[in-house]
Amino acid sequence: MKLRIKRLGALLVVMATFFALAGCNKKAESGLSGEESQILEAALFLGGYTGFWEYYIPQFEAENPGVKVKYELSNTIDEILRPRMMTDDVPDFVAINQTVAFDSRILARDGLLLDMSSFLAETKINGVSLEDHLIEGMLETGTINGKKYLLPQNISMMGLFYNKKLIRDLGVSLPETYDDLLAIGEKLAAANMPGVYLFTYSGIDVSYVYDGMFKPTWGLIWDDITVNKRGIWQSPEVIKTFQYFRTMGERRYIDPSNLGIDYLQTQEDFLTGKALFHANGDWLENEMADTQLVNFEWGFIPSLSLKKGDPRYLSSTHESMFIPAKAKNPELAKKFLAGIYTDENVRAIAEITGAVIPVKNALNLVSDYINISYKEMLRGQEETGAVSKILSSPPELAPVFNEVSIQLNNVIDGSATAEEAAAAVAVAAAGISF
């Protein structure tokens, strides 16, 4: 589906109006009036999806005569919903950003959300169940005790970008493991490519490496990490990960000056051909749109594993959609929800907002509407078979992850061994329970 230019222009005007009102709440009704109308009430986060809702809601009403969608758009929809969810006066459908103050998983555990397991299994999109239509791993965060409550609204990704041109010039295959990465570093050191490093990162903004590399590498033990399991921070997996970065530092596969520069400088270095690999997220291309690419071509792999054959993970996040357990029109809400995942609307969302619904054929559907780096991220996931995993953790562990970042710099500059780094993290984690 290609939206007509005239219609899209009008839509952009609507979007501008909504974003101008981002500081306040907005209630709206669209569709047919009259007592015989069936009302679907929706609570929607006022963010990047606003334009899509203004397109989709009239379409849904047109396809379902007699249905009127009453909706509320707000950038503080979590504050509005929090008291309502504890009463019988709940909306039929919710699309919301995940925050610490409003964690939809807690609502599910408290029995306040509708179990969507049978809906996911029985609803067909392109001849397959909706569950199988979604990218693997997308339902994991919203699954509580085997029941599925939250559905993904979009996907945001982090992982390991690489410079296709330099990889091609060096004549090496893409790495699957850290051993493979070190082998590429060895070949680079022997090649005539002065001023090019294996990996670039910011010692000031270490979270990019932690989120884009450490987390997916630890995908197999992530459940133990999130509960701060005894001994986990001095496990072989943690020590081995630190050791690989210590080795890269010792061999000068990482520019020593990286320790003192910020993320913008390392991003520029990467995009101007000074490094083969760089950990970052799907915002990188847009954030650095003013940078003139030099000796560079976009490429992406989701993660590296510690051992060949281990599962590979893609560090991802998404906004969630759900139906409250006390919804007055749950069947109509399911129909509304299912329509979002059709090919037509996956394309529409990408065209209107630039966001990607995480379905397995997303790359083919949205290729005309997303930037080059995002295409490479989707392609990288498809080619590696990496599982999307929401690698979130309790806020109580924030001091532990801060210590991980400190120790990453320490192993790279040689001031700590891998074992010493892991021991320091274990000290930071001691006594934390929830």
Confirm if 245 and 412 have CB atoms less than 8 A apart: yes
Alpha-carbon distance 152 to 25, whole Å?
24
Alpha-carbon distance 341 to 365, whole Å?
11
Query: Which is it for the CA torsion 338, 339, 344, 346, positive or negative?
Result: negative
Q: What is the pTM of this model?
A: 0.76
289 Cβ partners below 8 Å, 6+ apart?
Answer: none
Confirm if 374 and 154 have CB atoms less than 8 A apart: no
Two tokens, residue 358: 């995480």
* Superfamily for domain range 5-152+319-357: Periplasmic binding protein-like II (3.40.190.10)
The shares of helix, strand and coil residues in the chain, as percent rounded to the nearest 5, are: 45, 20, 35
The single residue listed with the structure tokens 């139906």 is 323
Confirm if 64 and 115 have CB atoms less than 8 A apart: no
Residue 1, pLDDT score: 39
Strands (E), 49-116: 67-74, 93-96
Residue 99, pLDDT score: 57
Two tokens, residue 402: 């801060």
Alpha-carbon distance 165 to 298, whole Å?
8
Two tokens, residue 401: 């992850």
* 70 conformational bin, left if phi > 0, alpha if psi -120 to 50, beta if neither: beta
Residue 102, pLDDT score: 67
Residue 368, pLDDT score: 92
In three-state secondary structure terms, 200 is: coil
- In sequence order, what DSSP letters do the residues of 374-400 get, joined into one string? HHHHHHHHHHHTPEEE-----GGGHHH
Residue 105, pLDDT score: 81
Alpha-carbon distance 369 to 379, whole Å?
15
Alpha-carbon distance 310 to 34, whole Å?
59
Residue 7, pLDDT score: 33
Domain boundaries, the chain: 5-152+319-357, 157-316+391-429
- Residue whose C-alpha is closest to residue 139's, from 330, 382, 322: 322
Q: Is 157-316+391-429 the same fold as 5-152+319-357?
A: yes
pLDDT tens track, the chain, 434 positions:
334 333 333 333 333 333 333 334 444 433 333 445 799 999 998 877 788 899 999 999 999 999 999 999 988 888 889 899 999 999 999 998 765 556 788 888 899 999 999 999 999 999 999 999 998 878 887 888 899 999 998 888 899 999 999 999 999 999 999 999 999 999 999 999 999 999 999 999 998 999 999 999 999 999 999 999 999 999 999 999 999 999 999 999 999 999 999 999 999 999 999 999 999 998 899 899 999 999 999 999 998 999 999 999 999 877 889 999 999 999 999 999 999 999 999 999 999 988 889 999 888 999 999 899 999 999 999 899 898 888 877 778 989 999 999 999 999 999 999 999 999 999 999 988 87
Residue 101, pLDDT score: 56
Confirm if 90 and 60 have CB atoms less than 8 A apart: no
* Fold adopted by 157-316+391-429: D-Maltodextrin-Binding Protein; domain 2 (3.40.190)
